[in-house]
Amino acid sequence: MKSQAIIEIKQLSYRYEKETVLENINLAVPNGSFLAIVGPNGSGKSTLLRLILGLLKPQTGEIRLFGQEMSKFKEWQQIGYVSQKANSFNTGFPATVFEVVSSGLTKKLGLFRFFKKEDSQKVYDALEAVGMRKFSNRNIGELSGGQQQRVFIARALVSEPKLLILDEPTVGVDAENVSAFYQMLADLNKNRGITLLLVTHDVGTISDKVTHVACLNKHLHFHGDSDEFERHQSEGMSEFYGMDVHLISHQHDHGGVFK
């Protein structure tokens, strides 16, 4: 399951008005990997995600999804997206977990098509995968932030995407549950073969669960697998954010940049 990159980015730059947010990004996300892009606030993480999702157009450079150029890419249902905003929804909304997850099938089913029995099975499967099956009849507002986030991941999973993109998924997850949350993602990656891409600013808990790490702060530094990332950290670069600033000030192309 090697070879084909699910996301391929070449020489991508993006600027808002005068400020350059992303400069010369090169990245290839291998099929079946679990990649974490880490970076401080304002490092361009969300912009990069929006570019990958086609919500913004790159000014220079190119993005290929599933081997196809972005402008020709049509199979958006292959990509599941869990936005950071997912946990700022109206918590008083009177919907059960089951109803929320089944709403993930809306587009796939299409207009004027009704929800069928086998669709219920898909919903239960998705809930099982995130460990929330027994909550299916609870109202979404009664759950904790971390449980709600799992439900939103199930909503993205229910349409059976090959790639799942998560924007700061641990915002709103209690500190003691963060590790279990990442373990759940790692299991999704391992057992279901879903390629995962997440952006986050917490470096500590992430490294032992993911397969690849990249650091972003305007420039992207790909560290290959997570072992290599840890080695970098232990080489006196544990103060990660400091490291990033350091690299930028030298403007050098990091040896680990993947392409």
Q: Which residues bind other proteins (CB under 8 A)?
A: 53, 55, 76, 81, 83, 85-86, 89-90, 92-96, 98-100, 102-103, 105-107, 109, 111-112, 115, 137, 139
Q: Which two tokens stand for residue 111?
A: 């207009």
Distance CA 221, CA 227 (A): 15
Nearer to other proteins, 158 or 185 (CB): 158
Q: For residue 192, how many other CB atoms are within 10 A of its CB?
A: 14
CA 75 → CA 41, 53, 58, 165, distances in Å? 31, 12, 19, 15
Give me the least distance between CB of 210 and other proteins, in Å please: 25
Nearer to other proteins, 25 or 100 (CB): 100
Contact 123, 101 (CB under 8 A): yes
Give me the least distance between CB of 11 and other proteins, in Å please: 27
Nearer to other proteins, 72 or 250 (CB): 72
Give me the least distance between CB of 215 and other proteins, in Å please: 27
- Residue 182, classed as helix, strand or coil, is helix
Ranges of beta strands (E only) in the chain are: 5-16, 19-30, 34-38, 60-65, 68-69, 79-82, 163-167, 195-200, 212-217, 219-225
Nearer to other proteins, 104 or 146 (CB): 104
Distance CA 147, CA 151 (A): 6
Give me the least distance between CB of 31 and other proteins, in Å please: 23
Give me the least distance between CB of 131 and other proteins, in Å please: 21
Distance CA 137, CA 149 (A): 16
Contact 39, 237 (CB under 8 A): no
Helix, strand, coil percentages (3-state) for the chain, rounded to 5, are 40, 25, 35
Nearer to other proteins, 118 or 235 (CB): 118
Give me the least distance between CB of 45 and other proteins, in Å please: 18
Helix axes 145-157, 117-129, angle to 10 degrees: 130
| Tally of residues, the chain | 259
Give me the least distance between CB of 99 and other proteins, in Å please: 5
Nearer to other proteins, 116 or 231 (CB): 116
Nearer to other proteins, 28 or 51 (CB): 51
